[in-house]
Amino acid sequence: MKHLLSLEKLPRAEFAPILRDAIVFKRERGRHKTPPLAGKTWALIFSKSSTRTRVSFETGIRELGAGVMFLNANDIQLGRGEPIKDTARVLGRMIHGAVIRTFAQRDVEDFAAFSQIPTINALTDDEHPCQVLTDIFTFEEMRGPIAGKVITFVGDGACNMPASWIFAAAKMGFELRIAAPKAFQPSAGLLQRAGGKIICTEDLKAAAAGADLLYTDVWVSMGKEAEAAERIKILSGYQINAELLKVAKPDALVMHCLPAYRGKEIDEATFEAHADTIFTQAENRLHVQKSILNWAVS
Ligand code: CP
Ligand code: NVA
């Protein structure tokens, strides 16, 4: 039984086949010969908002031959307090796989353990593995192997996105720099668990110098809305803009997992100048997640 619960837990050897098969899923969209999910039913169980993840998984699951249902966690008994382990044991007897977006990492892990069906983390407070696998795929599609390259993450260095980047770095062999204020840098424990070449600094320009990719995410992640004003104050300045791009490699890519807040983590002109990369990155969620689904059931 395979699950994608985090990049921390995804064995190093599994990255390459998922990324390689995603090339085929992208190239052969609409012409898949033996749909790997034929005759099955999958569910998406989401406790947080989503545009890209929801639509790409619903579309991808259908294109791989399965039926799919979207369950807003608040519309099922889970939202009224039914334990995740009971929800998992019920769904595990009815459906063939689950894609879960929630708060606690522990919940996707419990769901996987109790349901005994393939379970995919579609974002938790700790990680966003499907996004970072897609980001690596997109980088490699545009620039070749990511090994040996310099990736600079700018902004909230303590949320789910940088965490998944951190766990990917050692496994994929790239240097990761995180430019964030002290209060928003990843924990020492997490860095220690990940290993690899990770530099955390408050010095934005030093982090971006010679980078192959500048990456950012929202300053206020889902669930952190009550801290919005304080976060905006502390993170102010940790922005990808033309000034910062001057110190990166001349052909540096700019990526954003989206949704984007112009004038905060990225400025409007830089976002629009790199929109083709950013929306290819969004499209690639579909192709990479089809590869993840195929990997999970094979
Ligand atoms: N990047 C991402 O996961 O987008 P959604 O929140 O819209 O799914
Ligand atoms: N860090 C963001 C990612 C959104 C895709 C959040 O958790 O809201």
pLDDT by residue, tens only, the chain of 298 residues? 999 999 999 999 999 999 999 999 999 999 888 899 999 999 999 999 999 999 999 999 999 999 999 999 999 999 999 999 999 999 999 999 999 999 999 999 999 999 999 999 999 999 999 999 999 999 999 999 999 999 999 999 999 999 999 999 999 999 999 999 999 999 999 999 999 999 999 999 999 999 999 999 999 999 999 999 999 999 999 999 999 999 999 999 999 999 999 999 999 999 999 999 999 999 999 999 999 999 999 9
pLDDT of residue 34: 84
- DSSP 8-class letter at 266: B
Q: Give the SS3 label for residue 259.
A: coil
Q: Is the peptide bond before 259 cis (omega within 30 degrees of 0)?
A: yes
CB-ligand 1 contact for 131 (6 Å cutoff)? yes
Q: Is 89 a residue of the active site?
A: no
pLDDT of res. 57: 99
Nearest residue to 134 (alpha-carbon basis) of 295, 285, 256, 294? 285
Q: Is 274 one of the annotated active-site residues of the chain?
A: no
pTM over 0.95: yes
Give CATH for domain 12-127+285-297. Answer: 3.40.50.1370
Residue 32: the pLDDT is 83
pLDDT at 222: 98
CA 51 to ligand 1 centroid distance, Å: 6
Rounded to the nearest angstrom, the distance between the alpha carbon of 197 and the centre of ligand 2 is: 24
Say which of 3, 21, 125, 131 is annotated catalytic.
131
CB 256 within 8 A of CB 275: no
CATH of region 129-281, choose from 3.40.640.10, 3.40.50.1370, 3.40.190.10, 3.40.50.261: 3.40.50.1370
Catalytic residue among 101, 177, 256, 287: 101
The ranges assigned to domains in the chain are: 12-127+285-297, 129-281
Question: Is 267 labeled as catalytic in the residue annotation?
Answer: no
Q: φ, ψ for residue 219 (rounded to 5)?
A: -80, -25
Q: Which atom of ligand 2 is nearest to the CA of 53?
A: 5
Report d(CA 198, CA 293) in Å as an integer: 30
Ligand 2 pocket by Cβ (under 6 Å)? 123, 128, 159-161, 217-218, 221-222, 257
Question: Which pLDDT score, from 0 to 100, does residue 58 have?
Answer: 98
Q: How far is the CA of 221 from the centre of ligand 2 (A)?
A: 5
Among 168, 165, 130, 126, smallest CA distance to 53 is for 130
Q: Whose CA is nearest to atom 6 of ligand 1?
A: 50
Are 12-127+285-297 and 129-281 equal in CATH topology? yes
Q: What burial letters (b/e) apply to 20-57, b meaning 16+ CB within 10 Å?
A: ebbeebbeeeeebeeebbeebebbbbbbbebebbbebb
What integer pLDDT is reported at residue 268 of this predicted model?
98
User: What confidence score (pLDDT) does residue 33 get?
Assistant: 81
Name the active-site residue from 200, 217, 256, 274. 217
